Structure 1
Amino acid sequence: MIRTPLRPLARILRAREKGENPDDIEAENRARRHAEIQDRSRRGAERRLVFLATVFLVAFSTVGLRMGGLASSQPTEPRVQTTGAQIISQRADITDRAGRVLATNLLTHSLYAHPQQMIDPKRAARELAKVFPDLDQERLTKDFTGKRTFLWIKKKLSPEQMQAVHDIGEPGLLFGPREMRLYPNGHLASHILGGATFGNEGVSSAEVLGMAGVEKAFDGWLRDPANDGAPLSLSIDLSAQAAMEEVLANGMKVMNAKGATAIFMEVQTGEIVAMASLPDFDPNDRPRPLTKGDASDSPLFNRAVQGQYELGSTFKIFPVAQAIDAKLINPNTMINSSSPMKIGKYLIHDFHNYGRQLSVADIIAKSSNVGTVRVAQMVGVERQKDFLQKLGFFEATPVEMTEAPTGRPLVPQRWPAVTAATVSFGHGLAASPLHLASAYATIANDGKRVRPTLVHGHKHQEGEQVLSPKAAKVAVDLLRQVVTRGSGRNTDVEGYEIAGKTGTADKPRPTGGYYKNKVVATFASVFPASDPKYVLVVTLDEPSASTAGGGESRVAGLTAVPVAAELIRRLAPLVGLRPQTESKLPTIEPRLPDGLKLVAN
């Protein structure tokens, strides 16, 4: 800043020349400077007053608005804020399609110890071993009397156990609140839900993480606070699931099977209404996985999704439907069925001798291997592979479970003529029962691809047209004849127009070849045949049914079919499907050449 002198020399000299007093010049300049200083001070004071007034106005306005907002809002209980890294313990519920709880949270307590604070550590170890027989008293004594300052004892306590520990009266035994995952229905839908475990843990909270099934597949969604606690709604129906597991368990026992699985699915949406795999487990007390041996021996193994089975004659409808779609055949076309049929050095036989010719309708109804192979040869290898790929048999199912990728079908690397032949009647390609259910749903859905899902109510993208609607309708009609006059007669539940196909496949040995007395029996069905709404697939692992003559039978018609019939009787009313009094399906009467007669078995 440039300072103006009070006695400027130029003015002083001019004043002296004029005879004026130079002190007046200094007095005038001093007065002007004082006036300027007073003006600046006044303006500064005014600015400070305006600023303070503005601050007070904003502050009081904020307080007033906040008080008005609180007065007009609903009262809520305050939440305690914790310092440090927060452990997300809240997990959303899982419900069925009707909102019934399948998985929820339960407030419980953990038990931990501060050995340095214990009065009598030996007595504490002795008393704890009485409350928890699974604990080792000697190990506890060693831990309590050593140098450890912290020790987890139990991650979850029941109220009775907590009271028993409290009665010990040891100040070094402490409790911490936490949430645990609870499955109120026990074993029900255990493979679908999967189970949960603890992740990051603290003495006052623990993070709950999904271990398998939808719990793990939707782990991030279930833990996301942005969902505001909204439950995950699954497509399964709790009543249908309970009925399925009950019937399947009884069927597995009666048929002396090693394991069993069933899938009940909506045709148009692909939503799985019920899906069971036996043996199962309780997700509240999930067992440890097997470390050796056959994975299917573990109750954790999900046969519906992870099982890779050769599904036998249930595949026969695929080449037939494809050939009908390509206008190579129709249901009345006569096919050479002379058995055995030779392909290279291999012979293909039929279970019965059906004579020189069969109509396409009879090939499906009587389940002729030879006739099916003849039809598959008309289709050709490349078109056969392309069709199976479009049905989903070359990839894992997209169902929302972590186990789904492990159930990828076992597809032959090479596809010579003999492989094309065996695949046409369900041997040489191993897939899960869920793959089969999806493929049958595709046929029943007017040939539009159906992808299975466990989520209810989401908008489902329409699948590609794999088969023409006309060919798909004819295929369902052919499957209906399997039930009315073929190997599926035992599942002809009155009023529901069942259409389906049996399949009995020898189980492959781990070392190569096939067992002679072990099979996988399957029945895949759609109903009502005149307007398909649902698909049901039942698979029994190593069944053996007693026959009237005192012998044993392993074929699907006597093992899987009766179980499927009872399932349909129980499940159809639960989903609101009323029995029909009259069939709406046209009857396909095969036209035979003169002199040839066929007898339906």
Structure 2
Amino acid sequence: MIRTPLRPLARILRAREKGENPDAIEAENRAQRHAAIQDKARSHAQNRLLFMSCAFAVAFGIVGLRMGAMAAGQPSEPRTQVSGAQIISQRADITDRRGRVLATNLLTHSLYAHPRQMIDPNGAAEKLAAIFPDLKADRLKQDFSGKRSFLWIKKKISPEQMQAVHDIGEPGLLFGPREMRLYPNGKIASHILGGATFGKEDVASAEVVGIAGVEKAFDRWLRDPANDGAPLSLSLDLTVQAAMEEVLGNGMRVMSAKGATAVLMEVKTGEIVAMASLPDFDPNDRPRPLLKGDPSDSPLFNRAVQGQYELGSTFKIFPVAQALDLKLINPATMINTHTPMKIGKYLINDFHNYGGQLSVTDIIVKSSNVGTVRVAQLLGPERQKEFLKNLGLFEPTPIEMSEAPTGKPLVPQRWPAVTSATVAFGHGLAASPLHLATAYATIANGGKRVRPTLVHDRSQREGEQVLSPAAAHTALQLLRQVVTRGTARSADVPGYEVAGKTGTADKPRPSGGYYKNKVVATLASVFPASDPQYVLVLSLDEPTVGLAGGGESRTAGATAAPVAGEMIRRLAPLLGLRPRTDQPLPVVERPQANGLKLVSN
């Protein structure tokens, strides 16, 4: 840009020649220069305003479009994204089928030490040992005086303990926030829930991971942030579970049993409404596992899922139901029951001598070993094996627990005639009470295969037809007669049409053979028989009950059956079942067993 001089020489000289004032020329040029500068500044300002107006218009347009998109979409909570590795401390709750909390998280604190920052390590060690009785003052003094710069003292402490440590006034004792797993119902459903512990951890947070039960089976799901904290809804009913454990505990004590277990399952869905194993434990303070000895001596052992028992005469309905399905027999068919029955070098006897023959109905009602073996012989080993396999008695149950794979039945590798005979009346094949409940549920479900589950409202494919509906219905009628006039009379609960079968099996010795005075007593039942809705299997490990007339008994009819009857009486109303009153109810005499009330009013 060429600037015009304020006093151009040519114009000044001409002005002087004409006698004009040269300063007027300078003033005129100055005014023109100022006007040009103002025009340029005004143009720049206008351009800036235009640009800013366009920028604001675009920005407001973007904001408006974003607000419109958010208003039209589904609402969601904002999430904070943190780069790098992080410890996931949040864990979803576990609830029962009604939404009641079985496992949740509790905010607590950990306690750790920086020994190099401690003023009085010996005094702090003495005071910490007084606050935490499980800590040893001498060991703390040794740790505080060593070379370590960091030391965990307690992974979780209560608010009262935290305040007591505060009062010590030691700057080297520090606290870290964290979440711990809390089981508000204590021991209730402890084997199902399993327990949790800390995984990855630092002073600011800790990862809670499952170590057993559904906590371990669903560990990844429970820790997945994508679930937005939705709880895991189990099929359990907390009220029914608590009542089951109470009755089972009383029955175990009265029957002087080493252990006990019970499974309550819905027939149609396979959902487990309650499942208990005694002795149990508190998952808030999970005990250490046994490193030697009998695993079943540990309270951590889940008898319902991990227990592998020969379940005795409860198996007798299986060959009978299969033979009914194949139309080899009917309930009135007479079967040879002469004893003893010889197979190879082995003799098979009945508990009582039932005479030369019994009907198929009475074989089940009176629980004849010989009669059941005769029926199994009509089937043959291969068909018998195939049917038991279809009932799920050869593989672990698909229950959603980390212990499920360890509960695989003990199936004979060879299946000669004697094995076929002993398996027919519940010896030689060891399975869990949950396997037995599943098999009985299949019969009660019109012969359609039932698979157990612990998840509420879980969609499952329809089971295959293992048994014809007609044969399944007839089998239930036979089981009903076992309760009304057979070995399970003590399990009859007026109004609830209980059908079932007792089983008393000698316990095998680890070195071979069987104990003479140790048994597993079991009752497998279905109710109501006319409209099957629930299966209950109850087993007592090494029960013994004193009889009113003197002596003692270990049979399932005298031990497991009365406890199961009391359990059905307690649980049926909680399940919403109304007793039937449209038919005369049978009068059932129940033995008194050392104070356990077993008589119906």
Q: TM-score range by the shorter chain?
A: 0.7 to 0.9
3-state SS of 2:564 partner: helix
Cα distance in 1 for residues equivalent to 2:67 and 2:528: 64
Say if 1:70 and 1:523 are closer, same or farther in 2 by CA, change over 3 A.
closer
Cα distance in 1 for residues equivalent to 2:385 and 2:361: 23
Superposed CA deviations along residues 466-499 of structure 1, whole A, max 9, x for unmatched, are 0000000000000001011100111110000010
Do 1:444 and 1:476's aligned partners in 2 also have CA atoms closer than 8 Å? yes
Partner of 2:19: none
3-state SS of 2:235 partner: coil
Give 1:146 shift: 2.1
Cα distance in 1 for residues equivalent to 2:363 and 2:395: 29
Q: Does 1:391 align with 2:384?
A: no
Q: 1:148 is matched by which residue type in structure 2?
A: R
Partner of 2:414: 414
Equivalent runs, 1:149-548 vs 2, <5 Å: 149-548=149-548
3-state SS of 2:147 partner: coil
Do 1:341 and 1:347's aligned partners in 2 also have CA atoms closer than 8 Å? yes
Q: 1:343 is matched by which residue type in structure 2?
A: I
Say if 1:51 and 1:307 are closer, same or farther in 2 by CA, change over 3 A.
farther
Q: 1:137 is matched by which residue type in structure 2?
A: A
Superposed CA deviations along residues 488-536 of structure 1, whole A, max 9, x for unmatched, are 1111100000100000000000000000000000000001111111000
Do 1:506 and 1:519's aligned partners in 2 also have CA atoms closer than 8 Å? yes
Say if 1:459 and 1:580 are closer, same or farther in 2 by CA, change over 3 A.
same
Cα distance in 2 for residues equivalent to 1:508 and 1:55: 87
Q: 1:541 is matched by which residue type in structure 2?
A: D
3-state SS of 1:107 partner: strand
3-state SS of 2:253 partner: helix
Partner of 1:91: 91
3-state SS of 2:401 partner: coil
Structure 2 residues not aligned, in runs of 5+? 1-46, 586-601
Q: 1:473 is matched by which residue type in structure 2?
A: H
Tell me which moved more, 427-436 or 452-461: 452-461
Do 1:530 and 1:583's aligned partners in 2 also have CA atoms closer than 8 Å? no
3-state SS of 1:106 partner: strand
Tell me which moved more, 547-556 or 559-568: 547-556
Tell me which moved more, 308-317 or 543-552: 543-552
Tell me which moved more, 427-436 or 137-146: 137-146
Say if 1:464 and 1:339 are closer, same or farther in 2 by CA, change over 3 A.
same
Give 1:69 shift: 8.9
Superposed CA deviations along residues 346-402 of structure 1, whole A, max 9, x for unmatched, are 000001000101000000000000000000000111000000000000100000001
Tell me which moved more, 49-58 or 510-519: 49-58
Say if 1:234 and 1:573 are closer, same or farther in 2 by CA, change over 3 A.
same
Cα distance in 2 for residues equivalent to 1:76 and 1:318: 54
Partner of 1:14: none
3-state SS of 1:153 partner: strand
Give 1:321 shift: 0.4
Give 1:74 shift: 13
Partner of 2:18: none
Cα distance in 2 for residues equivalent to 1:369 and 1:50: 102
Q: 1:119 is matched by which residue type in structure 2?
A: I
Cα distance in 1 for residues equivalent to 2:67 and 2:122: 58
Tell me which moved more, 359-368 or 62-71: 62-71
Q: 1:225 is matched by which residue type in structure 2?
A: P
Cα distance in 2 for residues equivalent to 1:318 and 1:190: 32
Cα distance in 1 for residues equivalent to 2:237 and 2:93: 16
Give 1:80 shift: 7.8
Partner of 2:113: 113
Give 1:107 shift: 0.2
Cα distance in 2 for residues equivalent to 1:137 and 1:121: 10
Structure 1 residues not aligned, in runs of 5+? 1-46, 586-601
Q: 2:298 is matched by which residue type in structure 1?
A: S
Say if 1:78 and 1:483 are closer, same or farther in 2 by CA, change over 3 A.
closer
Give 1:70 shift: 9.7
Partner of 1:574: 574
- Structure 1 length as normaliser, TM-score? 0.86
Give 1:142 shift: 1.9
RMSD of aligned alpha carbons: 2.5
Cα distance in 2 for residues equivalent to 1:72 and 1:369: 72
Q: 1:447 is matched by which residue type in structure 2?
A: G
Cα distance in 2 for residues equivalent to 1:323 and 1:246: 39
Equivalent runs, 1:68-87 vs 2, <5 Å: 84-87=84-87
Cα distance in 1 for residues equivalent to 2:509 and 2:48: 94
Superposed CA deviations along residues 277-333 of structure 1, whole A, max 9, x for unmatched, are 000000000000000000000000000000000000000000000000000000000
Partner of 1:21: none
Superposed CA deviations along residues 445-483 of structure 1, whole A, max 9, x for unmatched, are 000000100000111211000000000000000000101
Q: 1:303 is matched by which residue type in structure 2?
A: R
3-state SS of 2:557 partner: helix
Tell me which moved more, 68-77 or 393-402: 68-77
Cα distance in 2 for residues equivalent to 1:229 and 1:65: 31
Say if 1:180 and 1:415 are closer, same or farther in 2 by CA, change over 3 A.
same
Cα distance in 1 for residues equivalent to 2:513 and 2:265: 34
Cα distance in 2 for residues equivalent to 1:421 and 1:319: 10
Q: 2:471 is matched by which residue type in structure 1?
A: A
Cα distance in 2 for residues equivalent to 1:287 and 1:410: 28
Give aligned-pair identity as a percent.
Answer: 79
Cα distance in 2 for residues equivalent to 1:577 and 1:353: 39
Superposed CA deviations along residues 76-110 of structure 1, whole A, max 9, x for unmatched, are 99988767521100000000000000000000000
Give 1:62 shift: 3.9
3-state SS of 1:558 partner: coil
- Structure 2 length as normaliser, TM-score? 0.86
Say if 1:59 and 1:443 are closer, same or farther in 2 by CA, change over 3 A.
same
Q: 1:208 is matched by which residue type in structure 2?
A: V
3-state SS of 2:335 partner: strand
Superposed CA deviations along residues 580-599 of structure 1, whole A, max 9, x for unmatched, are 114599xxxxxxxxxxxxxx
Say if 1:84 and 1:132 are closer, same or farther in 2 by CA, change over 3 A.
farther
3-state SS of 2:299 partner: coil
Q: 2:548 is matched by which residue type in structure 1?
A: A
Say if 1:151 and 1:405 are closer, same or farther in 2 by CA, change over 3 A.
same
Give 1:145 shift: 2.1
Superposed CA deviations along residues 542-570 of structure 1, whole A, max 9, x for unmatched, are 00010112211000000000000000000
Cα distance in 2 for residues equivalent to 1:532 and 1:340: 37
Cα distance in 2 for residues equivalent to 1:428 and 1:319: 15
Cα distance in 2 for residues equivalent to 1:335 and 1:221: 55
Say if 1:79 and 1:375 are closer, same or farther in 2 by CA, change over 3 A.
closer
Give 1:48 shift: 12
Say if 1:428 and 1:87 are closer, same or farther in 2 by CA, change over 3 A.
same
Cα distance in 2 for residues equivalent to 1:104 and 1:555: 42
Cα distance in 2 for residues equivalent to 1:432 and 1:465: 23
Cα distance in 1 for residues equivalent to 2:523 and 2:159: 48
Cα distance in 2 for residues equivalent to 1:284 and 1:308: 28
Say if 1:149 and 1:266 are closer, same or farther in 2 by CA, change over 3 A.
same
Partner of 2:555: 555
Partner of 1:20: none
